[in-house]
Structure 1
Amino acid sequence: MRAVCIASLSLTAQFVSAASHTVVISGLGGEPQYEERFRANADEIARIAEGLAEAPGQVVRLVGADATRDAIRRELKALAERAKPDDFVTIVLIGHGTYDGEEYRFNIPGRDITGSELRELLGAIRAQEQLIVNTTSASGATIEQWKQPGRVIITATKSGGERTATRFAQYWAQALRDGAADANKDEIVTASEAYEYASRQVAAAFEADIALATEHARIEGGDAAAKFTVARLGAAAVLATDPEVQALLAQRAVLEGDIEAIKARRDLLSDQDYYDELEAVLVKFAR
């Protein structure tokens, strides 16, 4: 079985030492329906992330009363200590957010945590590959504040002005278990695929309700989103528990992300440079 899976990956690779780290934070709901929904979304996202983790302790979940400002600061500082430059870091925020025209705030028990505080905490993380999924209302206000090279930022809203409670988190969670999100049918759901799926589902939900859409998702640094595996489906989910297969899957995700980034820059490159860069990546597949 292992041999078949490795062959199907169409590559051979050296063992990849990069680890994946995930922090899922669900803030205040304010009303019972939101409390229940936010908790369910956080639980599902964290559970699926645990299935991707290479070792125990790589997934942290802060929900409800546990998601205080002090707890968030503590966990993100701890993440900054343990995440290495070659690691992959994913942080998911679920709940309500606000924006007053100057500062974004994530609504949590006690004193809210600001976008400026979160920017500082995120900036201390050494991992060069970072995925931030902010599914809160007004989350679009954080894109300009948090963007940096190597960081993919996905927000439920296009700006801080979209302040209504969002639906994006539930469809992001759904993308992690729905084969329809797997656009290329390789039994791996990337952040890029999950974003496209969740965005479509949000739009369809508003259309079904015959309601004006109050949220429009955005992605920054999307060229690198294909590097992030956010779920495995079917046989890939079972076989990925094998350490050797885990290494190959991680390597493939990185290489496929590199290829997508080159394709996105096609118009900026000469034919020679384009094919030279593609060849350099493809050579890695053949090693």
Structure 2
Amino acid sequence: MVCAPSTQSIPSISSIQSTPAELPISAATQVILVRGANGEPEFAPKFDAQLEAWKKVAATAGAQTTVIHEGSPAAAADPKDTKADEKTAHGTLKKALTALPPEGPGEIWIVMMGHGTWDGKEARFNLEGPDVSATELAEWLKPVRRPLVVINTASCSAPFLNALAGADRIVITAVRSGSEKNYTRFGEYLAASLTDPAADYDQDKQWSLLEWFLSAAARTAEFYKTEGRIATEHALIDDNGDGKGTPAEWFQGLRAVKKTRDAMPLDGAAAQRLWLVPDDGARRLTPDQLAERGRLETEIAALRARKSSLKEDDYYQLLETLMRRLAAVYEPGS
């Protein structure tokens, strides 16, 4: 079904300061949870459950968390009020995003739970009151140079991937095109995967963003298979910045195994090295150390991908150098 926008309302916005007071906001992980319009009453419990799951995992991560539109009462905005938009979820989302420090090592996670629409030209995420378009979200986030994750679990969300993809960004959508307009179950299964041991594919006792994506996509596909239905949603992930996205079926385990026609690096490598809830070792690192670890792990992954084109001695010499630098991140001076 395509959900029409609901009546306008004053959004509920709350901030949970879970990070140490002395930590600069640009160095802290920030999570912005956007709970969209119900569309129909039957969807309210589903979106509420997803929101609660994300709030819990964000709190566990010690992230600075902002919740936008948390089931607030309806209240029509005055069309004559020049500041009416500021009282809607649309306006408060804009304010929250444009207030983000544009630079720094701290990650920004934006998770959108709700319905979407697409008119053939523009995709929108349904909010109480005015909806937010992919174009608007891209414009608000344009100055951001920090690591950015955007997860849109709504129907018709694929154009958000095209609009938001870029360097140091990971974008996940519940569907592969704007025309996939039925209610999506991907968001439900993604929320269920956040602390599910079965979603820890490599059994390292932490969940990477890639593992969450693959687990949710697999459970979504299993739902349609079990119900004997034609799948009406196909999730995508983009972390190489090309704005095309890769479906879960392209992965074998945690590695994308199909090749792109334009020889671009495959998606998934960056998402596999990103955790909202870090392990104990990562918790002891500073934001700068975490950023350095990420850069080195990216170099190591790229080197391993080139192994067949290098002489054996050269490959292992380069690998040893990178591994020593990685060890030094955990033990400076080693």
Residues 109, 210 of structure 1: alpha-carbon distance in 2 compared, 3 angstrom cutoff: same
1:32 and 2:41 correspond: yes
One of 230, 243, 250 as aligned partner of 1:212: 230
| AA partner of residue 90 (structure 2) | R
The structure showing larger relative contact order (alpha-carbon pairs under 8 Å, at least 6 residues apart) is: 1
Alignment partners' CA distance in 1, 2:273 and 2:140 = 23
Query: 2:302: which partner in 1?
Result: 262
- How far does the alpha carbon of each residue in 1:81-114 deviate from its partner, in whole angstroms, 9 at most, with x for none? 2x63322111111101111111111100111111
Q: What's the CA shift for 1:43?
A: 1.7
One of 317, 323, 326 as aligned partner of 1:285: 326
Please show how residues 179-194 of structure 1 align to structure 2 within 5 Å.
Answer: 179-194=197-212
Residues 182, 251 of structure 1: alpha-carbon distance in 2 compared, 3 angstrom cutoff: farther
Alignment partners' CA distance in 2, 1:211 and 1:62 = 34
| AA partner of residue 44 (structure 1) | A
Q: What's the CA shift for 1:208?
A: 1.3
TM-score, length basis structure 1: 0.80
| AA partner of residue 224 (structure 1) | A
Query: 2:90: which partner in 1?
Result: 69
1:117 and 2:117 correspond: no
Are 2:105 and 2:288, in contact at CA under 8 Å, matched by a contact in 1? no
Are 1:227 and 1:255, in contact at CA under 8 Å, matched by a contact in 2? no
Count of residue pairs brought into register by the alignment: 258
- How far does the alpha carbon of each residue in 1:114-165 deviate from its partner, in whole angstroms, 9 at most, with x for none? 11110011222230x2111111101112221111111111110011110001
Alignment partners' CA distance in 2, 1:245 and 1:143 = 31
Unaligned runs of 5+ in 1: 1-16
| RMSD value, Cα | 2.9
1:45 and 2:49 correspond: no
Residues 204, 136 of structure 1: alpha-carbon distance in 2 compared, 3 angstrom cutoff: same
Question: Identity over aligned residues, as a percent?
Answer: 29
1:184 counterpart SS class:
coil
Residues 119, 194 of structure 1: alpha-carbon distance in 2 compared, 3 angstrom cutoff: same
Residues 193, 251 of structure 1: alpha-carbon distance in 2 compared, 3 angstrom cutoff: same
1:86 and 2:97 correspond: no
Are 2:36 and 2:127, in contact at CA under 8 Å, matched by a contact in 1? yes
Query: 2:123: which partner in 1?
Result: 104
| AA partner of residue 192 (structure 1) | L
Query: 1:135: which partner in 2?
Result: 153
1:22 and 2:31 correspond: yes
| AA partner of residue 38 (structure 1) | F
Unaligned runs of 5+ in 2: 1-25, 73-87, 240-267, 329-334
Are 1:39 and 1:63, in contact at CA under 8 Å, matched by a contact in 2? no
Alignment partners' CA distance in 1, 2:98 and 2:140 = 7
Residues 190, 243 of structure 1: alpha-carbon distance in 2 compared, 3 angstrom cutoff: closer
Alignment partners' CA distance in 1, 2:236 and 2:165 = 12
- How far does the alpha carbon of each residue in 1:60-93 deviate from its partner, in whole angstroms, 9 at most, with x for none? 1113455710110111122x22x63322111111
Q: What's the CA shift for 1:279?
A: 4.1
Q: Which has the larger radius of gyration?
A: 2
- How far does the alpha carbon of each residue in 1:153-185 deviate from its partner, in whole angstroms, 9 at most, with x for none? 111001111000101111111111100111111
TM-score, length basis structure 2: 0.69
One of 271, 278, 282 as aligned partner of 1:225: 271
Residues 252, 41 of structure 1: alpha-carbon distance in 2 compared, 3 angstrom cutoff: farther
The structure where helix makes up a greater share of residues is 1
Alignment partners' CA distance in 1, 2:318 and 2:213 = 27
Residues 126, 214 of structure 1: alpha-carbon distance in 2 compared, 3 angstrom cutoff: same
Query: 2:4: which partner in 1?
Result: none
Are 2:124 and 2:157, in contact at CA under 8 Å, matched by a contact in 1? no
Are 1:171 and 1:198, in contact at CA under 8 Å, matched by a contact in 2? yes
